[in-house]
Structure 1
Amino acid sequence: MKGKIVLEEHLTTDLNNSLWNASGEAARNGKAYMDDVDARLLDPDGRIDEMDGWGIDIAVLSLTSPGAQSILDRAKAVDFAKRTNDEIAERFTRKHPTRLRAFATVALQSPRDAADELERAVTELGMLGALVNGYTNIGHADSAQYLDEAPVWEFWERAAALDVPVYLHPREPLPGQQRIYEGYASLVGSAWGFAHETATHAIRLMLSGLFDRYPTLTVIVGHLGEGLPLMLPRLEHRLHMQRDGAGLGQAQRRVGEYFSDNFYVTTSGHFHTKGLLDTISEIGMDRVLFSVDYPYESMQTGCEWFDQALLSENDRIKIGRTNAARLLRL
């Protein structure tokens, strides 16, 4: 299929590289793999060449994890987000304005500044929403502020007013919550830990009452929904059975309703047709979006799978292009 749109596609910047040591990623993934990834993260022209080869028309880019979310100093995080968005615009989106678009980096260490930066990025830089790499560290590396918590609602109010989506991207569980992975370091990140962390984070949003206050909010999750299409019906059933218990949050509706009304799911890094069909059966064809997760995954692998997946051509066009074009007003 030609004309595809992808929207969990990553980049890095010189500023980002100056802050983060990638040795942990290299140890887990292998040095050769990460050397290749790191080179591709910085290369807009090579990305365009690959997009041309695999029928991708537009890629929506975002800063690789953990980005601003790990910066402990609030003022530095706010400055990092602004400078990052400026560098993305200068180096990527203005260079290829019809092919490369972007989600903004925001520093939720200061929700008001994050809201202001989201608005600036959307209205002045032409960005299409925000991507947030999971929880935000506040004060130290083993702390977390999750997106459902009260200080962050000021940011959500602005996202709702701007009517732009927020992509909830994974990051590793907090260091103090990684005991179960001891001895199995390969499981901490994208192989397993990302999905558990991000699915739970999404459920927190559903239970918090956030979507009751801001019913038009849109959240995107990748990797075929981080397991939610399969597990959410079980969760909904058990929460109903526990309805007289404690700790149910403030939600006025069932979790499955929020999933259907306020979430979109991408195929990023999860190229499995049975999983895709299960996702469609739970959330509907109109809320599934094709993505690759480049350069952590290859465009060839993702596109060869998607172009040959057992779908009608009408459905392939919806998932591959028109759903994303409608959501992002492309």
Structure 2
Amino acid sequence: MRIITVEEHFDHPESVARVLELSGPGPITPDAGFGEFLGTFMPDRDSAERLAGTRLAHMDRAGIDVQVVSHGANSPGNLAHPEAVRLCRAVNDELARQISEHPTRFRGFATLPLHDPAAAADELKRCVGELGFVGALTHGAIDGVFLDDPRFEPVLAAAEAVTLPIYVHPGMPQRAVSTPYYAGSWPASVQFLFAGPAFGWHAEAGIHVLRLILSGALDRHPNLRLLSGHWGELVAGWLDRLDEVVGWVDYLDRAPSAYYREQVWVTPSGMFSQNQLNFIVAEVGADRIIHSEDFPYVVRDNVAEFLEQADLTESQRVAIAHGNAEKLLGMSGQ
């Protein structure tokens, strides 16, 4: 069975170094053990920086035919500085170069300089038209705001025009959120995990999608397509409640769940749970689920095996494994 995974990352070391230099202090105040913790939290450089080598060997072992790759942590797409335009272009060009060495095994999501929305829209069009990329991926808030902000209308319009999705990936909540919500009588490493991959950035990524719904962005852009990882970043399990409560005001053209089920696709991001799969199939349907591992931050040996052994019909299995990705990303027969 052909397997395509769509939340897979790489690092561009020169851009990461410049992002860290320009970004200033992060949202977590470090303590004595925080630096050492971050060193163990990050993936090995070969897996992160090269598409060939250990990554390709892992794909062969895990049964992955194609990874759709995007930039990982410390992305220049979130850099609030004019240099983001140059850095994003460098990231995209390097990703395209590495994909060209194994064109049947990898595709790309663009990194967009959202600090400059017009440049971001142009870069998305360039990445699709010249580099053959199949969408874009963003990381959390951009300079304190989300994609529903009116300044990002050119980006949403560009994504709609190329008929390819934006992957609304989590990013670390800013300090104004992280400190009151996630700091406490625990080490900085625990605050980082609580605010980040344990809970906080999933809640924020779900809020990001909900803001696009509530702002009317999906009405203004009815063909805009979104991808949401980690089984829908908490939102997919809350659709009935959203319909009921938002329905108390006559505000939207459709129920929140209608926007979600018609314009959002969900991926597992390596959270391979049959119970969660069952629930999401029931809530949004197998035709709205696309497989993902979250490599190299999450490394699973059972990427193909999870779907092969899952309690699914054969048509559902094929759709999640590759059919939905091929249709959404324009990859049929590739």
TM-score (norm 2): 0.88
- Give the distance between the partners of 2:36 and 2:203, measured in 1 at CA: 19
Query: Is 1:209 the equivalent of 2:208?
Result: no
| Structure 2, unaligned runs of 5 or more | 185-189
| TM superposition shift of 1:169 | 0.3
Match of residue 150 from structure 1: 150
| TM superposition shift of 1:238 | 1.1
Query: Is 1:53 the equivalent of 2:61?
Result: yes
| TM superposition shift of 1:35 | 5.0
| TM superposition shift of 1:21 | 5.2
Q: How does 1:159-238 map to 2 (within 5 A)?
A: 159-178=159-178, 179-183=180-184, 184-185=190-191, 186-238=193-245
Query: Is contact 1:51-1:299 (8 Å) kept?
Result: no
| TM superposition shift of 1:302 | 3.7
| TM superposition shift of 1:155 | 1.2
Match of residue 8 from structure 2: 9
Q: Give the 3-state SS of the residue equivalent to 1:156 in structure 2.
A: helix
- Give the distance between the partners of 2:79 and 2:224, measured in 1 at CA: 26
CA displacement 1:251-310 (0-9 Å, x = unmatched): 322111100111100111321111111111111111101110011111314444333222
| Structure 1, unaligned runs of 5 or more | 138-143
**Structure 1 53/47 Cα, relative in aligned 2: closer, same or farther at 3 Å?**
same
Q: Give the 3-state SS of the residue equivalent to 1:292 in structure 2.
A: coil
Query: Is contact 1:111-1:151 (8 Å) kept?
Result: yes
AA in 2 matched with 1:8: E
Query: Is 1:127 the equivalent of 2:133?
Result: yes
Query: Is 1:118 the equivalent of 2:117?
Result: no
**Structure 1 180/146 Cα, relative in aligned 2: closer, same or farther at 3 Å?**
same
Q: How does 1:1-330 map to 2 (within 5 A)?
A: 2-20=1-19, 27=34, 30=37, 33-34=40-41, 36-45=43-52, 46-73=54-81, 75-90=82-97, 92-137=98-143, 144-178=144-178, 179-183=180-184, 184-185=190-191, 186-241=193-248, 243=249, 251-330=252-331
Matched length: 315
| TM superposition shift of 1:108 | 1.1
**Structure 1 29/61 Cα, relative in aligned 2: closer, same or farther at 3 Å?**
farther
**Structure 1 72/21 Cα, relative in aligned 2: closer, same or farther at 3 Å?**
closer
| TM superposition shift of 1:29 | 9.2
Match of residue 141 from structure 1: none
CA displacement 1:166-198 (0-9 Å, x = unmatched): 100000111111212112412111111111100
AA in 2 matched with 1:155: V
- Give the distance between the partners of 1:42 and 1:63, measured in 2 at CA: 10
- Give the distance between the partners of 1:169 and 1:4, measured in 2 at CA: 21
Give the alignment's Cα RMSD to 1 decimal: 2.2
Query: Is contact 1:4-1:56 (8 Å) kept?
Result: yes
- Give the distance between the partners of 2:159 and 2:59, measured in 1 at CA: 30
Q: Give the 3-state SS of the residue equivalent to 2:164 in structure 1.
A: coil
**Structure 1 284/218 Cα, relative in aligned 2: closer, same or farther at 3 Å?**
same
**Structure 1 70/32 Cα, relative in aligned 2: closer, same or farther at 3 Å?**
closer
Query: Is contact 1:229-1:278 (8 Å) kept?
Result: no
